[in-house]
Amino acid sequence: MLIKGETGDWEVVIGLEVHAQVISNAKLFSGAATAFGADPNTQVALLDAGLPGMLPVINRYCVEQAVRTGLGLKAQINLHSVFDRKNYFYADLPLGYQISQYTQPIVGKGSIVLDLPDGSSRTVGITRLHLEMDAGKSLHDQHPSKTYVDLNRAGVALMEIVSEPDMRSPEEAAAYLRKLRAILRYLGTCDGNMEEGSMRCDVNVSVRRPGGPFGTRTETKNVNSIRYVMMAIEYETNRQIEILESGGTIDQETRLFDTVKFTTRSMRSKEEAHDYRYFPDPDLLPLVLDQAWVDEIRSTLPELPDEKKARFMEQYKLSAYDAGVLVAEKASADYYEAVAKGRDPKIASNWVTGELFGALNRLGKSIEESPVSAADLGGLLDLLADNTISGRIAKDVFAAMLETGKSAAVIVEEQGLRQVTDTGAIEAAIDGVLAANADKVAEFRSGKDKLFGFFVGQVMKQTQGKANPALVNEILQAKLKG
């Protein structure tokens, strides 16, 4: 995507660093619990509080989760990796260093395929994924002069997933985050919940002339929603272009996103940047993995969004767009497959992506919270397929299902919505309509074809919409022409 400036076109270059909290019951090195929302400082082991003589011991499950994620990102798994200490002082970092991985991460190069709104796709490179421990949380708003520290989060396992600078628009960055989140959720390695902070994003942005060398980048830290990421990119892009066009230069610096003004502001310059004094953590041996163990994890990987999408297109003959929408969440895909089983896959897709998603959107509910189960939606489609109800009635029935939670069959029975397929009854209704509108019949017969719709409407009205529309058409045609 090119941006028109005063002095010509510009291209934005975006790379993202995502901190994804590993789904694990215990922290990365201490064994303390990780449940979200516990009372402050109730999930803190001696190590997490930085007591003297405490030592880290790697949590095997967190390593397994990182490997699983690496495999899901089609990435190189490094059988030999090293934990380093990243040294800096802060009140919520009890050890005075964060245990991270610097030069030898557990996962190397991989890739993510983006599904863009126009149905096309684009590949973004993954530079690396490494494991590290989270810091605690500083609470500055609890006391007028004091800062409170909650160490529940201190030591929780994070995966830092670094992309290549391969994205060229805020929309691509959003697509990347959505896809990454989908993959993590499919894998069960991170819940991807940005509001709770279990997925956080640092945004690297630079601008350049199309095809030119990379410009100087800025890094905007801890942006905690996809919408904010897009806003931060938008703002940074414009800010940088403005500076460059007025003859200035971009400072390589760390910036913060202001969630009130939707702007970014400088946090610290390159000169003020921390010297983290990375060095291998002498308390931990290099992490050496067995290829057989990695293969074992690989064999348990679930079907991931890309494969599922391809299968949906192949197996159900869905469009790339529909398939993409359905696989965006594993729960949606599962729901769809339950509905589509033994039914027309296209009709199932239309109902799930149309009526159901529309309704959930209105209700602000997730697919997991859907008031209509996949089985019940399937039941509705069955009534439609065997002509028990018409398409129009089906929509009303669906609305009633959402409301009452009852099954389609029950609603149809209770409200007597069963479609009339008795030709005698339909004929009687048509005869009544034609008799009552003899003038219109004459007009029709003299060539006013458009009145056909009027007659259909009248018949449907007579039958409270329950008459089978195909039969109505057929009999009406015959009688009018007759």
Binding residues for other proteins (CB under 8 A): 46, 49-58, 85, 87, 89-91, 94-97, 147, 149, 275, 277-279, 282-285
Helix (H, G, I), strand (E, B) or coil at 98: strand
Q: Which residue has the tokens 């039958």?
A: 463
Cα separation, 454 vs 224, whole angstroms: 55
Cα separation, 8 vs 238, whole angstroms: 13
Give the shortest CB-54-to-other proteins separation in angstroms: 7
Nearer to other proteins, 118 or 275 (CB): 275
Q: Which residue has the tokens 């998603």?
A: 357
Give the shortest CB-281-to-other proteins separation in angstroms: 8
Q: What is the 3-state secondary structure (H, E, C) of 32-56?
A: CECCCCCCCCCCCCCCCCCCCCCCC
Nearer to other proteins, 58 or 267 (CB): 58
Nearer to other proteins, 234 or 283 (CB): 283
Q: What is the 3-state secondary structure (H, E, C) of 265-285?
A: EEEEECCCCCCCCCEECCCCC
Contact 371, 400 (CB under 8 A): no
Cα separation, 148 vs 136, whole angstroms: 10
Contact 381, 389 (CB under 8 A): no
Nearer to other proteins, 284 or 409 (CB): 284
Give the shortest CB-155-to-other proteins separation in angstroms: 13
Nearer to other proteins, 90 or 214 (CB): 90
Give the shortest CB-30-to-other proteins separation in angstroms: 10
Q: In whole angstroms, how far apart are CA 275 and each of 33, 85, 89, 208? A: 31, 12, 11, 29
Nearer to other proteins, 105 or 136 (CB): 136
Q: Which residue has the tokens 């290829």?
A: 291
Give the shortest CB-279-to-other proteins separation in angstroms: 6
Nearer to other proteins, 56 or 170 (CB): 56
Give the shortest CB-288-to-other proteins separation in angstroms: 12
Cα separation, 470 vs 242, whole angstroms: 63
Give the shortest CB-277-to-other proteins separation in angstroms: 4
